[in-house]
A and B are shown apart, each in its own frame.
Chain A
Amino acid sequence: MGERKKLLDDREISLIIRRIATEIIEKNRGVENVVLVGIKRRGDILAMRIAEEIKNLTGKEIPVGAIDITLYRDDLQLVSEFPMVQESYIPFDINDKVVVLIDDVLFTGRTVRAAISEILDYGRPRAIQLAVLVDRMHRELPIGADFVGKKIPTARKEIVDVFLKEVDGEEGVYLTKKK
């Protein structure tokens, strides 16, 4: 195990959430027809927080859903022996809506590719945009984020961990270098 460095503390994460919420409103010129879909796990929590911020800023409550992308992965053979599949929950119509996908870390882009495939099985959105807390680069597919919390150059072998108080009891983003 190598040294662990804290990249973002809870205050910085808070500020990022607020900024991303503002950018979503700005880019879409308001939130009419905007819906949020978080990618489990942790993306769904961030989605709830961003929706809360959007409500503070605009007074509007926009629909929030969450998806589990396990069944859409391109690498099931390599995943653990018993992959756990959680529920995907999008209880609203996404046709002709702007779907903002939300995840904690953007790395190879394969998770987002799977999420896009899954979203398109629910209907035909007007557009899909992507918001991430951290972009650690090393893309393997041509995928990009529209809203980025922090861009962090990393080495492939390094590990980026995101802890959110709702599931992890603490708040923070850490970078661990492998020895």
Chain B
Amino acid sequence: MLERPIPIVPTLRGKTVVNLFFEPSTRTSTSFAIAAKRLSCDVVNFSRVASSVQKGETLLDTTRNIEAMRVDGVIIRHSCPGAARFLAKRINAFVINAGDGAHEHPTQALLDAFTLLQKIKTLEKKKILILGDIAHSRVARSDIWIFKKLGAEVSVCGPPTLIPPYIEEEMKVKVYFDLDKALPGMDVINVLRLQLERQKRGVFPSLREYRRFYCLTEERLKKAKKDVIIMHPGPLNRGIEIHPDVADGKRSVILHQVRAGVAVRMAILFLLAGGKIEKEKRE
């Protein structure tokens, strides 16, 4: 559709959504904004910094106010797990979770799965490795759910301080602390962004040490399958969790993910805004 002279369809004409982002984001909010506009849906952006939240307004009040202006949908990113659900139960507009704390990031998981399915027809029995700061990653959690649901074998790898203690038992994934041991046989490697703020809290000794043990380099990839697919939700910390040559290399689908993101978000908006929205509140 994006290749047409007019890359817009009139499907959601007359509808309005609000990007309610309490945590910084350019990539996700832009992706949603573009998705909405391609469907002729209006978008309003709310950023935490320049808002009444600074004056102490509660989440619910903020949203009720916005809803009173006849908004059809809310796309929310918030640092509290459960924020999206909290909202969905209390307002009439539909709610999309764009990330709630370290809990989930469902649209990222959907676009990750979609990207993979475009490359390899099925995820049944495929081996997928999620590499990085698993403990604080909502992307990791959502990805684990979706990849397992689609039949893949999921493993995680990272420093012991960044892997949640019961993840092996609770989420049924294999845990590796040694990247070289994790790589052989993997079909897909999803590299997570190292949140550099964590380093200040002493979760690992230094960036240099993290890089030495966990940076995905071309050299390391020799241990993996030749046609292994490399993913990253972005934004990249080049040279820290992933080497630039890998990120920009032939096996990388990072830019495909971004493109898929717009398509997947368009589909989600279409289904939530175009269908019978009075029936049920959805997240």
Contacts of A88 in B (CB 8 A): 1
Which residue of A83, A117, A122, A123 contacts B274 across the interface (Cβ within 8 Å)?
A: A83
Whole-angstrom distance from the CB of B271 to the nearest CB of chain A? 7
Contacts of A118 in B (CB 8 A): 9
Given known A-B contacts A71-B11, A117-B10, A76 and B275 have beta carbons under 8 A apart? yes
Whole-angstrom distance from the CB of A2 to the nearest CB of chain B? 29
Rounded to whole angstroms, the CA-CA distance of A117 and B11 in the bound complex is 11
Given known A-B contacts A81-B275, A81-B276, A82-B271, A76 and B11 have beta carbons under 8 A apart? yes
Annotate B1-16 by CB proximity to A: 1 below 8 A, 0 otherwise.
1001110111100000
Whole-angstrom distance from the CB of A120 to the nearest CB of chain B? 8
A121 within 8 A of partner (CB): yes
Given known A-B contacts A71-B9, A72-B11, A76-B11, A121 and B4 have beta carbons under 8 A apart? yes
Whether A121 contacts B6 by the Cβ 8 Å rule is: yes
Rounded to whole angstroms, the CA-CA distance of A123 and B6 in the bound complex is 8
CB-CB contacts below 8 Å: B236-283 with A: 270-271, 274-276
Annotate A65-79 by CB proximity to B: 1 below 8 A, 0 otherwise.
000000111001101
Whole-angstrom distance from the CB of B119 to the nearest CB of chain A? 18
Contacts of B275 in A (CB 8 A): 76-77, 79, 81-83
Whole-angstrom distance from the CB of B3 to the nearest CB of chain A? 10
Whether B9 contacts A121 by the Cβ 8 Å rule is: yes
CB-CB contacts below 8 Å: B1-44 with A: 1, 4-6, 8-11, 39
Whether A122 contacts B9 by the Cβ 8 Å rule is: no
Q: Count chain B residues whose beta carbon lies closer than 8 angstroms to a beta carbon of A.
A: 14
Whether A77 contacts B276 by the Cβ 8 Å rule is: yes
Rounded to whole angstroms, the CA-CA distance of A122 and B11 in the bound complex is 16
Q: Select from chain B the residue with minimum beta-carbon distance to A95.
A: B5
Rounded to whole angstroms, the CA-CA distance of A134 and B248 in the bound complex is 54
Annotate A107-151 by CB proximity to B: 1 below 8 A, 0 otherwise.
000000000011001110000000000000000000000000000
Whole-angstrom distance from the CB of A91 to the nearest CB of chain B? 10
Whole-angstrom distance from the CB of A170 to the nearest CB of chain B? 31
Contacts of B271 in A (CB 8 A): 82
Q: Select from chain A the residue with minimum beta-carbon distance to B267.
A: A85
Q: Select from chain B the residue with minimum beta-carbon distance to A91.
A: B3
Given known A-B contacts A81-B275, A81-B276, A83-B274, A123 and B10 have beta carbons under 8 A apart? no
Q: Select from chain A the residue with minimum beta-carbon distance to B9.
A: A71
Whole-angstrom distance from the CB of B110 to the nearest CB of chain A? 15
Rounded to whole angstroms, the CA-CA distance of A81 and B6 in the bound complex is 28
Contacts of B39 in A (CB 8 A): 71
Q: Select from chain B the residue with minimum beta-carbon distance to A94.
A: B5
Q: What are 14 A-B interface contacts by the 8 Å CB criterion?
A: A71-B9, A71-B270, A73-B11, A76-B11, A77-B275, A77-B276, A79-B274, A81-B275, A81-B276, A83-B275, A85-B270, A88-B1, A121-B8, A122-B6
Binding site for B on A (CB under 8 A): 71-73, 76-77, 79, 81-83, 85, 88, 117-118, 121-123
**Nearest 3 pairs of A and B residues by beta carbon:** A76-B274, A71-B9, A121-B6
